[in-house]
């Protein structure tokens, strides 16, 4: 048991220190030892949170965030993890159509939240980057997701996100779907301007919001903000 | 020629004011040239360029600088909307004059009275952008040191996967040859193409001289910058990129 705890601490440390080889190797070992995939994911998340803090403290770089994302992805792709999530396939807690809005090609944040949503039991349809409003509408009609996630880095994506929300309202679909917007530049004020239901400056907040929505009895979208 | 403290309002009225400038280090070369060319001698408070990575931190830092000002009528900002980092600022000690533009890229690449169309697959560079402690060059050096060549290649393939070009902008404010080799090497290492473009400092010069027309957000003392000041409730004249 003592050795097991030591391994858990080591796993968090390997992720924090971005030691790709040892983090993935130890994650596989812990799964072989019988650790629950969701528990393992929680340990990885603890390491990821430390990476996020180190980035905020300016000790880590964007390159380090990407490496953390690579580690996270490789752990999710371990056989025992995919087996676990495949079994759960019919028990998804919700579905999300996710994309970076038109005029923007950034996708680091989008890819991080996609991985975290999937790990938390969401079915995610990633529609890519530079996505026009018409395409979001088309994908909505195709998949009928619970949540629409609009991502963007550029300042003027506030406008483009609003255009997407307005397009959903124009098509009579606004009350059918919850809309979350994500990006470092977003504020409560811009969220209200866009007409989204909520916003997130980082992926973990975004996942929390989506989970809360799915936990609500009435999970259908509303016209109000917040 | 600009005389420090003299401003011509749009109506043609000439007024005397005391100014301070709050400026991002990214624009240091360009602002210094604009100040030389206009004869502006206002005090400048330089803010490190790393703040642009976190708009909330940038807002706090700028507010602190505004709050500390004394006996200043107006603050000139060598900033744009900068990821909404300037939205929410309170004009506690002086009026605020802020270029109505997305950020420093539209500021140096845009043309007066024209809508600026950013090329999507382009990562923009000037000396200011290359020298920041969290610049793309610093990112690359850090990655090489920490992860080695093979992993750095993987990381940068992800970081720049939707980019095709690095664009080195000649703003006329720094020696291009100081940056060209570094930009070319970075482009080569990351499989992007290096292209060049001519920039300009007209917006910064206008910031120093006025007239303060629709190109600027004017926030009177006691007011607050809101999202509408940057024209986000109507078509935006420009757009920009960031590092993420």
pTM (2 decimals)?
Answer: 0.79
**pLDDT, mean over chain B:** 86
CATH classification of the domain holding A55: 1.10.1240.10
Q: What is the largest CA-CA distance in chain B?
A: 62
- For B100-115, the pLDDT digits (tens) are 988 888 899 988 888 7
A220 assigned to some structural domain? no
Least confident range from A14-18, A220-224, B130-134, B223-227: namely A220-224
Does residue B75 contact residue B23 with C-beta atoms inside 8 Å? no
User: Higher-confidence residue: B35 or B10?
Assistant: B35
**pLDDT, mean over chain A:** 87
Q: B94: helix, coil or strand?
A: coil
The partner residue sitting opposite A155, judged by closest CB among B102, B121, B235, is B102
Residue A4 has a pLDDT of 80
A224 assigned to some structural domain? no
Residue B99 has a pLDDT of 93
The partner residue sitting opposite B142, judged by closest CB among A63, A159, A187, is A63
Domain boundaries, chain B: 6-110+201-230, 122-198
Residues of A in contact with B241 (CB under 8 A): 106, 153-154
User: Higher-confidence residue: A185 or B183?
Assistant: B183
CA distances, B19 to each of A106, A189, B15, B75 (Å): 38, 29, 12, 6
Percent of chain B scored above 70 by pLDDT?
88
Is there a contact between A158 and B142 if contact means CB atoms under 8 Å apart?
no
- DSSP per-residue codes, B1-49: ---TTEEE-TTS-EEE--EEEEEEGGGHHHHHHHHHHHT----EEEE-G
Residue B233 has a pLDDT of 42
Residue A42 has a pLDDT of 84
**pLDDT confidence band for A88 (50 / 70 / 90):** low
Percent of chain A scored above 90 by pLDDT?
54
Residues 6 or more apart whose Cβ sits within 8 Å of residue B64: none
**pLDDT confidence band for B178 (50 / 70 / 90):** confident
The partner residue sitting opposite B120, judged by closest CB among A20, A64, A130, is A130
Is there a contact between B146 and A108 if contact means CB atoms under 8 Å apart?
no
Helix, strand, coil distribution of chain B in percent, nearest 5: 40, 20, 45
- Do both A39 and A60 map to the same domain? yes
Mutation target to probe the A interface, by most A beta carbons within 10 A, among B217, B232, B237 is B232
Mutation target to probe the B interface, by most B beta carbons within 10 A, among A53, A155, A165 is A155
- Do both A81 and A128 map to the same domain? no
- B27 pLDDT above the threshold of 90: yes
CA distances, A125 to each of A96, B138, B145 (Å): 6, 34, 36
Enclosing domain of residue A38: 2-86
**pLDDT confidence band for B8 (50 / 70 / 90):** low
- Per-residue tokens: A38: 């969701």
Peptide bond into B211 cis (omega under 30): yes
- Per-residue tokens: A187: 């504020």
Residues of B in contact with A58 (CB under 8 A): 50, 134
- Per-residue tokens: A59: 């000790």
- B138 pLDDT above the threshold of 80: yes
- Nearest chain B CA: its distance from A167 CA (Å): 16
Measure the CA–CA gap between A97 and A104, rounded to whole angstroms: 17
Cα angle B65-B89-B46, degrees, rounded to a multiple of 5 = 30
A225 assigned to some structural domain? no
Q: Measured in whole angstroms, how far is the alpha carbon of residue B7 from the centre of its chain?
A: 23
Is there a contact between B227 and A189 if contact means CB atoms under 8 Å apart?
yes
Residues of B in contact with A106 (CB under 8 A): 162, 241-242, 244
**pLDDT confidence band for A12 (50 / 70 / 90):** very high
Quote the number of domains for chain A.
Answer: 2
Residues of A in contact with B86 (CB under 8 A): none
Question: What number is the ipTM of this complex?
Answer: 0.79
For the residues B160-186, what does the mean pLDDT come to?
94
Residue A225 has a pLDDT of 38
- B47 pLDDT above the threshold of 80: yes
- Do both A102 and A210 map to the same domain? yes
- For A117-134, the pLDDT digits (tens) are 887 889 999 999 889 999
Is there a contact between A66 and B84 if contact means CB atoms under 8 Å apart?
no
A50 assigned to some structural domain? yes
Q: What is the largest CA-CA distance in chain A?
A: 60
CATH classification of the domain holding A199: 3.40.50.280
- Do both A205 and A119 map to the same domain? yes
- Do both A116 and A183 map to the same domain? yes
Residue B230 has a pLDDT of 81
- Nearest chain A CA: its distance from B235 CA (Å): 8
Least confident range from A20-29, B59-68, B235-244: namely B235-244
Q: Which of A60, A86, A112 is the last residue of a domain?
A: A86
User: Higher-confidence residue: B135 or B241?
Assistant: B135
- Do both A81 and A98 map to the same domain? no
């Amino acid at each position: 048991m003592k050795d097991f705890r030591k391994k858990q601490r080591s796993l968090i440390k390997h992720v924090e220190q971005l030691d790709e080889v040892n983090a993935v190797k130890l994650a596989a070992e812990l799964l072989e030892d019988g650790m629950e995939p969701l528990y393992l994911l929680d340990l990885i998340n603890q390491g990821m949170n430390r990476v996020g803090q180190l980035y905020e403290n300016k000790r880590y770089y964007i390159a380090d965030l990407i490496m953390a994302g690579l580690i996270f992805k490789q752990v999710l792709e371990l056989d025992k993890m995919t087996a676990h999530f495949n079994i759960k396939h019919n028990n998804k807690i919700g579905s999300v159509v996710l994309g970076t809005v038109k005029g923007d090609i950034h996708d680091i944040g989008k890819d991080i939240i996609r991985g975290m949503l999937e790990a938390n039991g969401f079915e995610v349809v990633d529609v890519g980057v530079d996505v026009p409003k018409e395409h979001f509408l088309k994908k909505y009609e195709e998949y009928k997701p619970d949540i629409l996630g609009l991502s963007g880095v550029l300042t003027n994506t506030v406008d483009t996100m609003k255009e997407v929300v307005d397009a959903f309202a124009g098509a009579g679909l606004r009350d059918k779907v919850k809309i979350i917007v994500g990006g470092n530049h977003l504020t409560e004020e811009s969220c209200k301007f866009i007409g989204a239901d909520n916003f997130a400056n980082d992926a973990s907040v975004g996942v929390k919001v989506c989970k809360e929505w799915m936990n609500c009895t009435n999970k259908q979208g509303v016209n109000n903000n917040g | 020629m600009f005389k420090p403290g003299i401003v011509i309002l749009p109506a043609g009225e000439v007024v005397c004011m005391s100014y301070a400038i709050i400026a991002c280090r990214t624009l240091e070369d360009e602002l210094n040239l604009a100040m030389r060319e206009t004869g502006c001698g206002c005090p400048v408070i330089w803010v490190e360029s790393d703040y642009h990575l976190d708009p909330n931190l940038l807002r706090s830092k700028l507010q602190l600088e505004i709050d500390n000002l004394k006996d200043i009528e107006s603050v000139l900002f060598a900033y744009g909307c900068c990821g909404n980092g300037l939205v929410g600022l309170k004009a506690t000690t002086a009026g605020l004059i802020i270029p109505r533009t997305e950020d420093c890229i539209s500021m140096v690449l845009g043309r007066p009275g024209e809508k600026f169309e950013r090329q999507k697959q382009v990562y923009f560079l000037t000396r200011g952008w290359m020298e920041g402690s969290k610049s793309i060059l610093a990112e690359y050096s850090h990655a090489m040191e920490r992860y080695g060549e093979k992993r750095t290649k993987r990381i940068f393939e992800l970081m720049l996967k939707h980019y095709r070009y690095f664009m080195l902008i000649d703003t006329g404010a720094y020696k291009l040859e100081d940056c060209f080799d570094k930009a070319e090497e970075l482009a080569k290492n990351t499989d992007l193409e290096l292209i060049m473009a001519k920039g300009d400092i007209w917006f910064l010069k206008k910031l120093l001289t006025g007239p303060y027309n629709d190109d600027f957000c004017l926030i009177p003392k006691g007011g607050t910058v809101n999202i509408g000041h940057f024209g986000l409730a109507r078509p935006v004249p420009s757009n920009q990129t960031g590092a993420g």
